[in-house]
């Protein structure tokens, strides 16, 4: 099984490039949207919602970004209608206990994933999506 659309929200071009390659090689998503920060992501996602195209099924979200960070994105994204069908995975290079605890406060956050993404982790996520 794969998802139609996945969205990567991260300002690190090397991480984004590597993640897109891994997601494509593992058949994770038909389409991959990339945004550099939370503000840009909302500017892409809100029109999708308004046009009826629907939201990406999976969002990979970095926490530390300029302009609008991952927490600010989650605050705004949570207010949108019909976000329950989207799984948000927080991707972070710092596995800070406080961040993990804070992420649990958001119903839409499915998991906290340590960077970098790996083939094994992508396969685990695909299995999780099937359940």
pTM of the model: 0.93
What is the pLDDT, as a whole number, of residue 1? 60
N-to-C CA span, the chain: 11
Query: For residue 110, what are its two tokens?
Result: 């499915």
Q: How confident is the model at residue 77 (pLDDT cuts 50, 70, 90)?
A: very high
Non-local CB neighbours of 50 within 8 Å, separated by 6+ positions: none
Domains identified in the chain, total number: 1
CB 37 within 8 A of CB 67: yes
1-57 pLDDT, tens digit per residue, is 678 999 999 999 999 999 999 999 999 999 999 999 999 999 999 998 888 888 899
Which CATH number do you get for residue 102? 3.40.50.2300
96-105 pLDDT, tens digit per residue, is 889 888 988 9
Its domain, for residue 18, covers 3-130
Helical ranges in 52-96 per DSSP H: 70-77
Question: For residues 82 and 70, which has the higher predicted lDDT (pLDDT)?
Answer: 70
């Amino acid at each position: 099984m794969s998802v139609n659309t996945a969205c990567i929200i991260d300002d690190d071009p090397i991480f984004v490039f590597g993640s897109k390659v891994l997601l494509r090689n593992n058949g994770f998503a038909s389409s991959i949207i990339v945004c550099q920060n939370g503000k840009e992501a909302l500017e892409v996602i809100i029109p999708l919602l308004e046009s009826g195209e629907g939201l990406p099924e999976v969002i990979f979200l970095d926490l530390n970004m300029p302009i609008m960070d991952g927490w600010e994105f989650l605050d705004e994204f949570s207010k949108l209608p019909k976000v329950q069908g989207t799984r948000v995975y927080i991707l972070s290079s710092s596995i800070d206990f406080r961040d993990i605890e804070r992420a649990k406060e958001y119903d839409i956050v499915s998991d906290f994933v340590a960077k970098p993404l790996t083939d094994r982790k992508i396969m685990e996520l695909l299995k999780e999506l099937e359940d």
